Structure 1
Amino acid sequence: MTYRYKVALIFLIGFFIDCINIFMSAVALPSISAALHVSTSDVAWVANAYILGLTLIIPVSTWLAGRFGSREILTASMIVFTASVWMCGLANSFNELVIWRFVQGIGGGLLIPVGQALTFNLFKGEQRAKISTLVMAVALIAPAISPTIGGVIVDSSSWRWVFYSNIPFSLIAALLSWFWINEARPTSLPSPDIKGLLLVSAALGSLLMGMSLYGGDSPALVAAFFVMAGVTFVVLYGLHYRTCKNPIIELSLLKS
């Protein structure tokens, strides 16, 4: 197997793990709700916490890869993912489960942009179209099979095995990343956009909180407050973007 296909395989494994964790855990929510004695609206944070960790880490992941190395970041992301899914399975309280799901999202979120950047840099022209087809296939297949797999696991054992079942795949991805990835670090890196990162994180967190509260039992005014706060942080980031030399999110790419 050539080097570029090794990199692509690592990315596709990690991408598949991320996709199934978004959808497969949803099947276990009723069992988690009953076991940990939480309401059906509150238990949605098992999924929300994962998505929040996933989205918050993505903007800074490429800078981390440049600072510490792609091999190190990809390996660390899968090790963090492995440890957090193990702790999710051991969780004895709902708050503990939500915290570890957030950490799990951070581990998964590190792999997606770094792995995708490495993969698409190695595939040009028609080859890039072919690898894009594989990525789309994973994006379609994972959501399709996740509910069935999750249902079988919950019915045959316990909701905890929905998390434990990820461990072999994440460990394989970690080992392959360490032994197969060979990318040189850039000689110089711009300073990270800390202010932009804080604004983006606040915007995403506020919007997710607002939409989650709106779908639950909370007063509509509380949900509206968080949504407005998220919109405010988006506007503040837009103003910050105009004066920042190295913004954490390049808004000009939206013109493409």
Structure 2
Amino acid sequence: MSAQPSPAAPGAAGLDDKLDRGVLKIASVVVLGAIMAILDTTVVNVALQKLTIEFSTSFDTIQWVATGYMLALATVIPVTGWASDRFGTKRLYLLAIGTFLVGSMLAGLAWNVESLIIFRVVQGLGGGMLMPAGMTILTRTAGPQRIGRVMSVLGVPMLLGPICGPILGGWLVDAVSWRWIFYINVPIGVIAFVLALHLLPKDKAAKSGRFDFAGLLMVSPGLAALIFGVSRIPSTGTVTAIEVWLPAIAGILLLVSFVLRALRVADPLMDLSLFHNRTFSVSMITLSVFCMGFFGAMLLLPTYFTLVRGESALHAGLLLAPQGFGAMIMMPIAGRLFDKFAARRIVLPGLALIVVGMVPFTQVTSTTPYALLLSAAFVMGLGMGCTMMPITSAALQTLRSEDMAKASTTTSILQQTSGAIGSAIMSIVLAALLGSRFGVPTNEGQLAATAATLNPATHTAASALAAGAFATPFLIATVILAVCLVPAAFLPNRRFIPSPPSTGSDDAAAPVPAAPLH
């Protein structure tokens, strides 16, 4: 069996939904690690335009600074479920923080775009272990009856990343150096490591199955090959180029082979039997579609403000803050509602708010009023506060304690992979449209648009051309988010009520079967 629940959470054994001091201490450590990983993602997004100019490269290349990080997260996450059981979540969490710190230092020392992408991958290897390991620690400590409440506690400080990240990143890029968007992780990481060492409960390594090395050789290269093939479309301008279709098909075949193998071997890298749980399956489908649309769109926002509107990186970060504030306001409310009502009744209105908030961006021009855009971003933030955490909570709530590590791993890999695919799709569409509008090859569209908008003689016309290129990928993201309403409609429509554990049970709580859906 997995590591035992922390004794710091006595309420977890019963049906008391209050969060005691022990749970809050552990939550603070997990939150700090999550902030570090999420902060780095948002800090880098606002600096992509600066990095494009710094390294004289194209947008479809520089987006690998973001996508490579997310891809590394996706490739290392499959190992974390097995490693959590084999070595204990505390040891794994400390290893994750240490790896992330090393990657941050190296990224700050990068001398060209290739080395920066490689060191971002090292960061991603650490970041990929942080979230599933932290989520496993927290859900085991709190128990299923308090998942909604503890997710709201986890979610609010995590939103400091999206709010403060763009602002901090913009200031560092404008006033100091782009290198400090990576160096800033060092003091945060040191504090997180020390707190984790002292506050996280010791957990025993449990008996784990044999490591599925063959599965790792299928799923990790499969994900990398698929994303690489898709990312080559802008530079080749066609899906028929061998460097596009060959790795993409190879990646798909590897992933399909992994799924077929995982269904018939003992102890696979990802436990696909979790998908026998209907609530978990529906939640994962909803989460995947959501991340593809939402995180793909989020990659575009700071670039729109810097390229089309001529804002500095700092101002672009400030313009992204309303979305974070909207989510910060709604997330604790949604967490409390989740413990009282069904997931479907929270997620569907949240998705509707996001779709409504996205509509103005599908019509964006170089003169769209900021009041409209910032109001729309705030509405999107309110919607996000009702979606991400409730979907994840619904997926985990009906599972057994010993399944939490594997479930957290599966949740994280689908989230990161979907986000990476969404980001790649949006950057591909944007690069192609910029190249077409400025009459240059696809891989030169970003540089041509930047040069034209920076030239006072051509600024007005170039800004109008570039703005039109953003409207289409925003529309694609909006359609994807609207489609997400379909699987979300099959989320549970009745509140989940856990049953008390039987005498002598190890589990924090033994969940009863999910209530019937209607």
Normalized against structure 2, the TM-score is what? Answer: 0.47
Deviations 1:67-117, CA, capped at 9 Å, x for gaps = 333222211211111121111111112222111110100111111111110
Question: 162-171 or 32-41: which moved more?
Answer: 32-41
Question: Structure 1: which amino acid aligns with 2:83?
Answer: L
Normalized against structure 1, the TM-score is what? Answer: 0.91
Q: Give the corresponding residue for 1:78.
A: 97
Question: 27-36 or 89-98: which moved more?
Answer: 27-36
Question: Structure 1: which amino acid aligns with 2:101?
Answer: T
1:186 equivalent to 2:205? Answer yes
Q: Partners in 2 of 1:140 and 1:124 — Cα distance?
A: 23
1:153 equivalent to 2:137? Answer no
Among 88, 108, 113, the residue aligned to 1:94: 113
Q: 8 Å contact 1:58–1:110 — kept in the other structure?
A: yes
Q: Give the corresponding residue for 2:235.
A: 217
Q: Partners in 2 of 1:194 and 1:169 — Cα distance?
A: 33
Structure 1 residue 25, shift from structure 2 partner: 0.3
1:52 equivalent to 2:71? Answer yes
Q: Partners in 2 of 1:211 and 1:143 — Cα distance?
A: 27
| Larger RCO (alpha carbons 8 Å, 6+ apart) | 1
Q: How does 1:99-178 map to 2 (within 5 A)?
A: 99-138=118-157, 140-178=159-197
SS at match of 2:210: coil
Q: Give the corresponding residue for 2:259.
A: 238
Structure 1 residue 211, shift from structure 2 partner: 2.6
Among 210, 215, 218, the residue aligned to 1:196: 215
Q: Partners in 2 of 1:127 and 1:242 — Cα distance?
A: 32
Q: Against the structure 1 CA distance between its residues 200 and 217, is the aligned structure 2 distance closer, same or farther, given a 3 Å change threshold?
A: same
Q: 8 Å contact 2:87–2:206 — kept in the other structure?
A: no
Q: 8 Å contact 2:52–2:58 — kept in the other structure?
A: yes
| Structure with more helix by fraction | 1
Please tell me whether Structure 1 or Structure 2 has the larger radius of gyration of its CA atoms: 2
SS at match of 1:41: helix
Q: Which runs of no fewer than 5 residues in structure 2 stay unpaired?
A: 1-19, 281-518
Question: Structure 2: which amino acid aligns with 1:153?
Answer: L
1:226 equivalent to 2:247? Answer yes
Structure 1 residue 41, shift from structure 2 partner: 1.9
Give me the identity figure in percent. 28
Q: 8 Å contact 2:29–2:200 — kept in the other structure?
A: no
Deviations 1:160-217, CA, capped at 9 Å, x for gaps = 1111111111111111111122232234221111111111112211222123223x31
Q: Partners in 2 of 1:144 and 1:213 — Cα distance?
A: 32
Q: Which runs of no fewer than 5 residues in structure 1 stay unpaired?
A: none
Q: Against the structure 1 CA distance between its residues 164 and 130, is the aligned structure 2 distance closer, same or farther, given a 3 Å change threshold?
A: same
RMSD: 1.9
Q: Partners in 1 of 2:85 and 2:145 — Cα distance?
A: 27
Structure 1 residue 126, shift from structure 2 partner: 4.1
Among 29, 41, 45, the residue aligned to 1:26: 45
Q: 8 Å contact 1:76–1:174 — kept in the other structure?
A: no
Q: Partners in 1 of 2:213 and 2:138 — Cα distance?
A: 27
Q: 8 Å contact 2:27–2:154 — kept in the other structure?
A: no
Question: 109-118 or 56-65: which moved more?
Answer: 56-65
Query: Alignment length, in residue pairs?
Result: 255
Question: 50-59 or 140-149: which moved more?
Answer: 140-149
